[in-house]
Amino acid sequence: MGRTGRIDRVAGAPGARRHVGTATWRLRCKKRRLTGASSVALLLLCGLLASAAQATPSVRRSPSFLLDPAAQQGPLQAPVRSPTTAAESGPSDVETIRFFSSSFTYNGTTFPYQNVGTDPAHPRITIVRTVVVPIDLTFENAIGVDPHLNGSDFTRRVLASPVFVPTKFAATEDFAQYADAFQRAEYWNVGGKRSSFHTFLVPRAVAPVRLTVPAADGVAEQLGNGIPLGFLSFAWLEEHEQALLTSLRISPHEFPIFITHNALAEGALGNHEALTVTLPNGRTAIYTYAFATWLDAGAAVPFGFSESFANDVMPLGHEVAEWMNDPFITSAAPPWQWSVPPILPKACSNVIEVGDGLQQFNTVAVPQFGFTYHLQDLTFFSWFARQTPSEGFAGRYTFLGTTFTSPSTPCS
């Protein structure tokens, strides 16, 4: 592979691209169709003031990248993407998070990609101010359950989780935040192990945002196990997320995360997006942001999964790690095959989304501050690039090192 160095502008960036963790994070009930701090973590915020930029969207989002196993027969194929080309230009051209851009070559084809932070070959410490936005939902249409599902009930536990509080991970013996430990591990042998290579999230939580979900845009109910679930229209959720970027005066240099409780957006437990806007001063900005739900233990059982599937911060950790490896939804790879029984027997993708193929495989339990958090294994860059040997920690292809022992399998 050949890295081209850090580039701070994305030319022709997407209007608004959405990644929904593909079908693995889509726990659609086939019979249901919608009609329409921890103080430790907060100490890291010391000395950092959030800059505010009020933005006006100039373009709408591009079509969603969604794989719906309930509507597909046979192998699922992700739509082929033409990734954004990075331009050799300075950081002043586009207001966004700090990132680096590079490419690799496989079988004569060049695949560009972007990561949050800096090139591990030229390591620096990157700090990304992160805004945690708890979303408290009230459903006008609630069938036999309390209409209130409050993300704010879990704000403290989210802030105290390994997503934000540095933790020693036994897999690599590294002491870092979850996504940072993963990014360091996947580039371990090309600069990732250096103490100067880190991408830290520095969180601040805002007051809960209370939203009422119209009956046409969602329903709350339980599916036989007594655990209330909210089912939302993605369009309704996106409209409110994008409005909050403005009303909360979030800067494009910040990373906002919208937290819900047991609320699925058309079956998705989380997603991350990139939205291009024109600021009042005429400059172009790219907002990158994510949504993730805190899922109660056992909530996924009605969809055919185990009681431990996607518990607590697993969807959040998944989306943060994928955002870090593909912030603009433009990182490309040779088409690769994966599956997630029982909802997805076979699928194909051509994007670098590090959590999608591993949700149902190995997980790690992390006891912290009196609570046990759950996080999933993640796939290294070398797995997507089909590099032998892997650039990752101990020559692995995944963070935990117990799932894949060779590069990705081509789609068939």
pLDDT digits (tens, 9 = 90+) for 360-404: 667 889 999 999 999 999 999 999 999 999 999 999 999 999 888
- Supply the pLDDT for residue 126: 97
Give me 186's structure tokens. 């996947």
- Supply the pLDDT for residue 93: 78
- CA 20 – CA 221 distance, rounded (Å): 23
Distances (CA, A) of 257 to 320, 331, 379: 9, 21, 22
| 167-191 average pLDDT score | 96
**Does 274 have pLDDT greater than 80?**
yes
- CA 79 – CA 327 distance, rounded (Å): 18
Buried b (16+ CB within 10 A) or exposed e, 45-81: beeeebeebebebeeebeebbbbbbeeeeeebebeeb
Q: In three state form, how does the secondary structure of 16-63 look?
A: EEEECCHHHHECCCCCCCCCCCCHHHHHHHCCCCCCCCCCEECCCCCC
Confidence at 47, pLDDT banded by 50, 70, 90: very low
- Supply the pLDDT for residue 79: 32
- Supply the pLDDT for residue 24: 32
Q: Which residues pair with 347 in a beta bridge?
A: 76, 338
Segment among 112-121, 310-319, 344-353 with least mean pLDDT: 344-353
Give me 89's structure tokens. 């230009």
What pTM value is reported for the model?
Answer: 0.82
Confidence at 342, pLDDT banded by 50, 70, 90: confident
- CA 307 – CA 260 distance, rounded (Å): 19
Distances (CA, A) of 190 to 15, 104, 187, 303: 33, 14, 5, 41
| 59-83 average pLDDT score | 29
pLDDT tens, 197-226? 999 999 999 999 999 999 999 999 999 899
Averaged pLDDT score across all residues of the chain: 80
Contacts of 185 (CB under 8 A, 6+ apart): 171, 172, 174, 192, 380, 392, 393, 396, 399
| Type of residue found at 86 | A
- Supply the pLDDT for residue 17: 56
pLDDT tens, 230-239? 999 999 999 9
- CA 20 – CA 30 distance, rounded (Å): 18
**Does 113 have pLDDT greater than 50?**
yes
- CA 135 – CA 150 distance, rounded (Å): 6
**Does 33 have pLDDT greater than 70?**
no
**Does 29 have pLDDT greater than 50?**
no
